[in-house]
Chain A
Amino acid sequence: MINSYNFRFSEVYWCSNVPRTIALTGNEAAAWGARLSRVEVIAAYPITPQTQIVEKLSEWIEKGEFNAEFIRVESEHSAMAAVAGASAAGARTFTATSSHGFAYMYEMIAWVAGARLPVVMGVVNRFIGPPWNIWADWMDALSARDLGWIQIWASNNQEVLDSIIQAYKIAENKHVLLPVMVSLEGFVLSHTSEPVQIHDQELVDQFLPEYNPPHYVLNPEVSKPFAFGNILWPWDTVHLRWDMHKAMLNAKDTIKKTVKEYEELFGINHGDLIKEYETDGAEVVIVSMASIAETAENVAAELRKEGKRVGSLKVRFFRPFPSKEIVDVLKDKNKVIVVERDLSIGHDGILAMELRSVLHRYNTEIPVYSVSLGLGGDEILPEQIKKVVNKVI
């Protein structure tokens, strides 16, 4: 039987070392991020809206353009288990998932952080059912808030690509050794094309050298065999938890340094832990994450034109939570509006809750207005945010 289906995507293939800007969807940008990071083992299971990331990677691998192993596992739980195994054996690993897949791998998500394996995962944020809903919602990644993963929330496709490269640098730092998830909202970013600069591979290699793990299974240089993941008494366990906590707090410095170094090499800065926009002299600040942050910036710009003193603050790293950094920006402001695509049922928006606890810790009494918008992928329009600001101001 002759195969009539010709597998050719409308894409300009990488053939030189010159950086180029092409139109990429968020999913393609994530795949490029993993490819430029020279990931060695990938394991993933299809789920909408993530699937294209791994389709792209498996296509490159089969073509021989990208040297990595791709494991077509039978579930997300197995995907995370497989990358955990590969990471423990000393490989740089990548996986990606969404929503129910994320929920299904939850056990292994916790395990990978506890095992201090620097896995990087793309999370294409999607609602967890029922009802069945395939659109953007932050409830998947935020449900793993307390497990010890560093969380980056990307606002655009360029940031998706850059964040994945930065993620490896941060995760593999020997003072950090924590996994990182890079969140991109389903369809809002995952299926929307934007111009994205694909960096020179040599430059990326210079920024992100080969992964050289401090400890791994079957290390020939270690004479005594290691036993990983065994049972411990409570009084020993507490030390490991404390180490993780310290590592997460230490990661703040590593993140700032990494972002600076990245800017020097590539000339791109999406913000380190946070990104400010027109916060100087602002009365009201809109705090948000992910793609909403860009909408909020536009809203702030428009309101500034109307003479209203409004700024925007994007939380780029949700973990480690930029507590001091946020307080430094917000301490002299009058009001804070948190706009987010999630809701802690029976309480408030999750980001708003985090923000209040931080402001309280630093004895800062500013009213925080919690606004949960766009749950289940509903569109978030600038007019909606504007309306809230005008009401509050």
Chain B
Amino acid sequence: MITALVHPIEKFVRSERLPHIWCSGCGMGMIFNAFAKAIEELNIDPKKVVIVSGIGCSGRASGYWAYDGFHTTHGRPIPFAMGLKLARPDLHVVVISGDGDLLAIGGNHFIHAARRNVDILVILVNNFNYGMTGGQVGPTTPEGVRTTTTPYGNYTEPPFNAVWLAAASGAVYVARWTVYHLRNLTESIKTAFQMKGFRVIEVISTCPTDFGRRNALPDPLDNLRYLKENAVYVKNPDPREADIVWGKKFIIGEFVKIEGKESFDDRIRRLIEIAQKELRRSDLQ
């Protein structure tokens, strides 16, 4: 007798879209899994979740997840998500995109959505390069490493500390994990889902095909081993110390967790109340 084995996250996936385009050893599958697990454990109605993605490898996620999703243009998932959230405040709006999309071509939107404290969850998949286009230097590429546009090492483009950028811009929840730390990541997604405001989870991912291959990590397992050996969990870490230097230890953990900060849609509702009060007053006069 043949028994059909069903993958535990099958119901969260558009299986008819498989096989996916991600390379073997890519971290996206693990992030996919962690996210599905978090949603399942929180028991959230799938019709209340919207996935918005931008360009690049992680941009394909919205097509594979069995939620309503939008694969938007280069750098534009955050403004798109902002519009969506304001039109439908009852939805859980999740942006999942890469470091190139969110911090380079869409960098402007990232800081401004954080400043406004727009109520969206951003999962920032950081693989240190532009993977989809073949591995060019990006805004998070550590100094000294090789990419196709820095074939002799990146010495001209110092990287962003994405954690500090998010924290300084006003995000209410900032955490960083790696694709090796899946349990922490799942718990973190659950925590973030229950909060309100601009929430950022940076996930350090693996890209053996483009990034690893040029930096002595062509084997997918070595990429994971690198994350295991170099990621150091710190309790209540300082975002300013979250720099990533290639070959050195870097910090993971929950950097920022602020409860009760007024979100953008709250502010808009408050503005309407203020304006209406003023209008009523002028009517009386």
Kindly list chain B residues whose C-beta atoms are within 8 Å of the C-beta of A52.
134
Choice from A7, A74, A100 contacting B139 with Cβ under 8 Å: A74
Q: Would you call B190 an interface residue if the criterion is a C-beta within 8 Å of the partner chain's C-beta atoms?
A: no
Closest to A130 in B: B71
- B49 proximal to A (CB < 8 A): no
Cβ of B207 to closest chain A Cβ, rounded Å: 13
Q: Are B133 and A72 in contact (CB under 8 A)?
A: no
Q: Which of B136, B156, B247 has the most CB of A within 10 A?
A: B136
Within B103-120, the residues touching A (CB, 8 Å) are: 104-105, 107
Would you call A1 and B73 a contact (CB within 8 A)?
Answer: no
Q: Which of A54-62, A162-170, A172-180, A210-218 contacts B (4 or more CB under 8 A)?
A: A54-62
Asked if A48 contacts B133 (CB within 8 A), the reply is: yes
Q: Is the CB of B149 within 8 A of A72?
A: yes
Pairwise interchain contact A62-B150, C-beta atoms closer than 8 A: yes
Decide if A129 is an interface residue (CB 8 Å cutoff).
yes
1/0 per residue, CB under 8 A from A, across B209-238: the answer is 000011110100000000000000000000
Residue on A nearest B105 in the bound complex, by CB = A75
- Least CB distance from A328 to B in Å reads 43
Q: Nearest-CB distance from A26 to chain B (Å)?
A: 16
CA gap between A35 and B177 in the complex, in Å? 43
Q: Mark A1-16, 1 if CB is under 8 A from B, else 0.
A: 1111101000000000
Q: Within the assembled complex, what's the spacing in Å between the Cα atoms of A312 and B134?
A: 38
**Complex CA distance for A150 and B137, rounded to whole angstroms:** 31
Give 1 or 0 for each of B128-139: 1 = CB within 8 Å of chain A CB: 001011101101
Flag if B74 contacts A1 (CB, 8 Å). Answer: no
Chain A neighbourhood of B150, CB < 8 A: 58, 62, 72
Decide yes or no whether A104 CB sits under 8 A from chain B: yes
B233-259 interface mask toward A, CB cutoff 8 Å, 1 = contact, 0 = none? 000000000000001000000000000
The A1-46 residues at the B interface (CB cut-off 8 A) are 1-5, 7, 45-46
Chain A's closest residue to B103 (CB) is: A74
When the two chains form their complex, are residues A74 and B104 in contact, meaning their CB atoms are under 8 A apart? yes
Q: Quick one: closest B residue to A74, CB to CB? A: B104
A132 within 8 A of B: yes
Q: How far is the CA of A138 from the CA of B215 in the complex (A)?
A: 38
Q: Quick one: given A51-B134, A72-B137, are A104 and B149 in contact (CB under 8 Å)? A: no
The number of A-B residue pairs with CB atoms under 8 Å apart is: 77
| Minimal beta-carbon separation of A46 from chain B (angstroms) | 4
Chain A residues with CB under 8 A of B216: 1-5
Chain B's closest residue to A103 (CB) is B73
B151 at the A interface (CB under 8 A): yes
- Say yes or no: B136 contacts A51, CB within 8 Å: yes
Partner of A72, one of B152, B157, B213: B157
Q: Mark B38-67, 1 if CB is under 8 A from A, else 0.
A: 000000000000000001000000000000
Residue in contact with B74 in the complex, picked from A54, A62, A72, A101, CB distance below 8 Å:
A101
With contacts A5-B213, A5-B214, A55-B134 taken as known, whether A46 is within 8 angstroms of B74 at the C-beta atoms is no
Q: A74 near B107 (CB under 8 angstroms)?
A: yes
A113 within 8 A of B: no
User: What number of A residues sit within 8 Å (CB to CB) of B?
Assistant: 29
Is A47 located at the chain interface by the 8 A CB criterion?
yes
* Interfacial chain A residues near B214, Cβ < 8 Å: 3, 5, 7
Within B145-182, the residues touching A (CB, 8 Å) are: 146, 148-152, 156-157
Whether the Cβ atoms of A1 and B133 lie closer than 8 Å is no
Per the bound structure, the CA–CA distance linking A100 and B218 in Å amounts to 31
Within the assembled complex, what's the spacing in Å between the Cα atoms of A378 and B139?
35
B212 to chain A, nearest CB (A): 9
List residues of A (239-268) whose CB comes within 8 Å of B's CBs: none
CB-based contact B139/A104 at 8 Å:
no
- CB of B75 closer than 8 Å to a CB of A: yes
B137 engages A104 (CB within 8 Å): no
8 Å CB contact of A54 from B71, B105, B149: B149
Within the complex, which residue of B55, B134, B149, B213 is in contact with A58, where a contact is CB–CB below 8 Å? B149
Closest A residue to B149 by CB, please name it.
A58
B218 to chain A, nearest CB (A): 7
State A3–B144 Cα separation when bound (angstroms). 11
B130 touches A46 (CB 8 A): yes
Collect the chain B residues with CB atoms within 8 Å of residue A54's CB.
149
CB nearest to B226 among chain A residues: A1
Shortest CB distance B69–A (Å): 12
For A75-101 the 0/1 string (1 means CB < 8 A from B) is 110000000000000000000000011
Q: Which residue among B149, B150, B152 has the maximum number of chain A CB atoms within 10 Å of its CB? A: B149
In the bound complex, what is the Cα–Cα distance between A54 and B135 (angstroms)?
Answer: 12
**Which residues from chain B contact A55 at a C-beta distance below 8 Å?**
134, 136, 148-149
Counting from the closest, the 8 A-B pairs by CB-CB distance are A46-B133, A74-B104, A75-B105, A58-B149, A46-B136, A5-B214, A51-B133, A7-B151
11 other contacts beyond A55-B134, A58-B148, A72-B156, with CB at 8 A cut-off? A3-B216, A4-B216, A5-B216, A5-B218, A51-B136, A52-B134, A58-B149, A63-B151, A75-B74, A100-B55, A130-B71
> Can you give 29 A-B contacts (C-beta < 8 A)?
A1-B247, A4-B216, A5-B146, A5-B214, A5-B216, A7-B146, A46-B133, A46-B134, A46-B136, A48-B132, A51-B133, A51-B136, A58-B148, A62-B150, A63-B152, A70-B149, A72-B136, A72-B137, A72-B149, A72-B156, A74-B104, A74-B139, A75-B104, A75-B105, A76-B105, A100-B73, A101-B74, A104-B105, A129-B73
